[in-house]
């Protein structure tokens, strides 16, 4: 018994310290593992590449108005004489209705002094649409247009051989079809590099040898263009919707029919064929009383 009691005393005395040592050993072993894992995570974070800064794209700039002036070369082909060259100037005014569609007015004036054969002057004024297939967002801006209008020809023949000085004039219709290329120099300034037009005019033949004369001309132009009044990207912010305009005009006429004179009032009182309405009014909780007639909501002016 004394031996058993002695063993129990020894176990009680040395048991708790041994358990404490066993519990501390795995914690000591785990600490270096955590210390080794920490630098690995840091290396992974350092290896990530930096994201490049986001560059904002420039907003598409569509001007509302454009005004240009420059030089024009015309190759004029009269019906009773050989073709000859003319030099002059041109002016344009463009209104951009949408970023791809514009309306323009073009005025040109060219001159040629042929000595004994006289001095020829040709003026034209034409209007028409201009198309931009790529809009105005690029540095190079191609375009095409069709113009229709009128022109005038003045021929001054000097006095010679006892004949006095004579002046002939002719005014006739004309049209032109062509296109060109522009370069955006700055936000408000554009350089028109080249513009080519095939021009058709119907001036009178002063020698009376051709009954129905036509002139097939060619034009080359270069100009400087100033543009202002920024337009939005799509075109007009409030464009005209013709069907919706007619709808509101008809509705306003219907509402004001009682204020018109007698015969117009009787004519407008005729109702359209009845429309069957089987569902409740969407703006009111109760169903419509007259389900067999056209129902106009008095509060929202809806059918």
The reported pLDDT for the residue numbered 264 is: 47
Secondary structure (3-state) at 15: helix
Q: Which domains does the chain have, with CATH numbers?
A: 62-231 (2.40.160.20)
Tokens of 290: 């007259």
Secondary structure (3-state) at 232: coil
Is the pTM value of this prediction over 0.85?
no
Average confidence (pLDDT) per 10 residues, the chain, 303 residues: 64 59 51 50 53 58 91 92 94 93 96 89 96 90 96 90 86 95 91 96 84 90 92 47 67 61 47 47 47 46 43
d(CA 234, CA 228): 17
Please tell me the total number of residues recorded for the chain in this structure: 303
User: Do residues 225 and 237 touch, judged by C-beta distance below 8 A?
Assistant: no
């Amino acid at each position: 018994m004394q031996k058993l009691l002695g063993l129990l005393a020894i176990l009680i005395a040395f048991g708790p310290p041994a358990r404490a040592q066993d519990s501390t050993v795995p914690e000591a072993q785990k600490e270096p593992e955590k210390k080794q894992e920490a630098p690995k995570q840091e290396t992974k974070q350092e290896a990530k590449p930096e994201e490049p800064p986001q560059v904002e794209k420039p907003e598409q700039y569509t001007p509302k108005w454009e005004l240009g002036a420059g030089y024009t070369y015309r190759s004029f082909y009269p019906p009773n004489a050989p073709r000859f060259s003319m030099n002059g100037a041109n002016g344009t005014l463009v209104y951009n209705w949408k970023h791809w569609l514009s309306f323009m007015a073009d005025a040109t004036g060219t001159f040629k002094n042929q000595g004994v054969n006289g001095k020829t002057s040709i003026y034209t004024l034409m209007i028409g649409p201009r198309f931009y297939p790529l809009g105005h967002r690029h540095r190079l801006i191609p375009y095409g247009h069709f113009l229709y209008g009128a022109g005038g020809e003045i021929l001054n023949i000097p006095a010679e051989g006892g004949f006095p000085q004579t002046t002939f004039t002719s005014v006739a219709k004309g049209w032109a079809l062509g296109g060109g290329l522009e370069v955006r120099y700055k936000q408000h300034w554009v350089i028109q590099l080249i513009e080519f037009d095939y021009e058709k005019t119907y001036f009178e033949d002063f020698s009376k040898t051709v009954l129905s004369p036509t002139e097939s001309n060619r034009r080359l132009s270069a100009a400087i263009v100033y543009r202002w009044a920024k337009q939005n990207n799509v075109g007009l912010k409030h464009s005209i919707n013709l069907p919706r305009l007619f709808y509101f005009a008809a509705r306003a006429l219907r509402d004001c029919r009682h204020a018109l004179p007698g015969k117009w009032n009787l004519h407008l009182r005729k109702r359209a064929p009845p429309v069957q309405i089987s569902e409740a009014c969407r703006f009111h909780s109760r169903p419509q009383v007259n389900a067999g007639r056209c129902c106009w909501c008095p509060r929202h002016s809806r059918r």
